[in-house]
Structure 1
Amino acid sequence: MNEIWETNFGNNLYDFNNVFPVKSIQMAYCCFLFSSRKKLTQTNSLHGNIHSFSGKTGKTLFAREIRFFVALSLFFTISVINGFSQKVERVVSLAPSITENIYLLGAQDKLVGCTSYCKRAIADDVTQVGSVININVEKILALQPDVVLAVQLTKAQDIETLKKLGIRVELFSTPKSFDEICGQTREIGVLLGVENIAEQMFEKFNNQVDSLKGVCEDILPGLKMFFQIGADPVFTVLPNTYMNDFILFCGAENIADSMKHGTITRESVLVKNPDIIIVATMGGFGEKEKKIWSSYKGLNAAKNNRIYLVDSETSCSPTPNNFVKALSDIVQFVTTQ
């Protein structure tokens, strides 16, 4: 499954409420304190000698309560620290790109659950727990994961259910640039304890991207590109998305650079008359779309035979290696005369 998400970048690194309910503890202690004072008053009343907390007995009991509260606070502070420092050994991934990142980081031995679209993990007999959108909460619970890595396509009520069951959930969203793709992968690396591997990878991928950018430096400015990622209706790559970096890094202009919504008519594309058209394969729909665009003989891209297909498995799945692979193909298209 290709992932083109419309969400905000990473949040909820740790759900503090999943560690312990702070308010409940505070309320419990207040009840304890009130109860102790009440017992003190009642006990001394029976002996005809009511003492306030300023008396000897009151001071003793109050000191005990303070010690109890300090011990209780220390216990839960240690619990929180342990929760944050807990080593992650069992991971459930709810998105193909997250699964690919886990393999990229060499941490696949920690993967115990995945979606029905995570081909590589399925081939390794990792337990399937549903699709990206619809998950089986019971299956996930049975896997006893240390953390579940999810995207905002997964139903919100299922995410909340997992949290209420005490399962740690890290929610990721669509990165808006190549830098954010790397940032998301780094975040996963930190969670899985392989941040050093992540840092080494980023240096390599950043060097490759810089090298590919350099290849396009001599391209004439003003080259107009249409990048199609959906059919029926026709859907285009928008600004402020990581896929727009494919266009920008080639030194080209996105014909949709003023659009806020991805749906576009064929008539609009013809009016903008792009010099290059790139179509994501989309499981067979790409070939059909290429033929349709090629039939418009007045279109610059059609006249110059500059309509290309790019693999949607790399271009539409946000991981650093996929981005570099797709960019390499697109640079080749752009530099081919």
Structure 2
Amino acid sequence: MKSIFKILLLLIFLLSSNVFAKYNRIISLAPSATESLYELDIDKELVANTVYCSDGNFKKEKIGTVTEPNIEKIISLNPDLIIATKEGNYKTVIDKLIRLKLTVYVMEPYSNFEDICINFQQLADYLDKTDAAKEIINNVKNEISKLDDDAKNINKEKIFWEVGANPIFTVGKQSFVNEYNKFVNGINVFEDIDMRYPNISVESVIEKNPDIIMLVNMGDVSEQEIAKWNKYKNITAVKNNKIYLLEANDIFTPTPKRFLNGIKVLKNKLNNTAGD
């Protein structure tokens, strides 16, 4: 009887641990991949990620940046899976990891929210988390549909997105960030450019005369940009004090939950009467 009880305890332990996990030592090469693992509750299996990734409640080893990961350190950590993205990681880096006989899963680029959901589901399928991903996606879509209905009652405003300052880069038609606009009933002033992140001039922004300026705090975009744009008094966004500084993690992390969070952040910003 005691032996049967011990066997039952052992089975309970094994089922509650990650012994049966498909992968136990995962390295993420991009913030979106890291966030996807957290949303799928696979963060304990994540042993390392980039300096740009959020660690949540667990301190992870850092293997460098998205564009320049430390290959030697990656090898030393003995991963059984590396997750990369075509959106952020160089193909040369991915190819080198594959040549070193490491198992690499590569996530596809994102052009809209549907792409984000498809990529998230495919990664979940690969990690034997199919049902968890389906539930997350369904819940997020249901909540977003309610927010979308709310947006229909708001007057449309022209929005200029700045994601790079020197030189100026904005959001074009092919970026998933462009889709945020419809949930706040906005119009991206550069959505006619069939690129992800085109380089534009100050003069073109002045000509477009946006009602709102969204500055995404990443790289060289900081609070100093608010002062720079405030010099152009003829821009409607400047006249009405509608220049907003957004955190990159709130906007540029393409997972279902983070996209939903991005919509909420934008709505909160736009509900304020003054820019930050």
**TM (normalized to structure 2)?**
0.82
In the superposition, relative to structure 1, how do residues 308 and 111 fare at CA in structure 2: closer, same or farther (>3 Å)? same
In the alignment, what sits opposite 2:40? 105
Q: 1:119 aligns with which of 34, 54, 77?
A: 54
What is the CA RMSD across the aligned residues, in angstroms?
2.2
Cα deviations by residue, 1:250-274 (Å, 9 ceiling, x for unpaired): 2221110222451111111111111
Aligned to 1:178: 113
Q: What letter is aligned with 1:306?
A: K
Give distance in 2, aligned partners of 1:257 and 1:246: 12
Q: Cα distance 1:300–1:106, how it changes in 2: closer, same or farther (>3 A)? A: same
The alpha-carbon deviation at position 198 of structure 1 amounts to: 1.1
Contact 1:151–1:172 (CA under 8 A) maintained in structure 2: yes
For the Cα contact (< 8 Å) 2:215–2:221, is it kept in 1? Answer: no
Return 5+ residue gaps in structure 2 as ranges. Answer: 1-20
Q: 2:204 aligns with which of 255, 268, 276?
A: 268
Question: Shift of residue 332 of structure 1?
Answer: 3.4
Contact 2:28–2:49 (Cα < 8 Å) also in 1 = yes
Counting matched residue pairs gives: 250
Identity of aligned residues (%): 31
| Cα distance, 1:214–1:285 mapped onto 2, change above 3 Å | same
Q: Which residue of 1 aligns with 2:262?
A: 326
Matches within 5 A, 1:104-183: 104-120=39-55, 124-152=58-86, 153-183=88-118
Provide the TM-score with structure 1 as the length reference: 0.68
Higher RCO structure (Cα 8 Å, ≥6 apart): 1
- Which residue, 250, 253, 274 being the options, matches 1:317? 253
Kindly indicate which of the two structures has a greater share of residues assigned to helix: 1
- 1:117 CA displacement: 2.3
How far, CA to CA, are the matches of 2:185 and 2:249 in structure 1? Answer: 23
Q: Where do 1:137-286 residues align within 5 Å?
A: 137-152=71-86, 153-221=88-156, 223-260=157-194, 262-282=198-218, 285-286=221-222
Q: Aligned with 2:215: secondary structure?
A: strand
Shift of 1:283: 6.2
Structure 1: tracts of 5 or more residues without a match: 1-85
CA deviation map 1:170-212 (0-9, x unaligned):
1124311111112222122112222211111111211221122
Tell me the amino acid that sits aligned with residue 130 of structure 1.
G
User: Letter of the aligned partner of 1:219 in structure 2?
Assistant: I
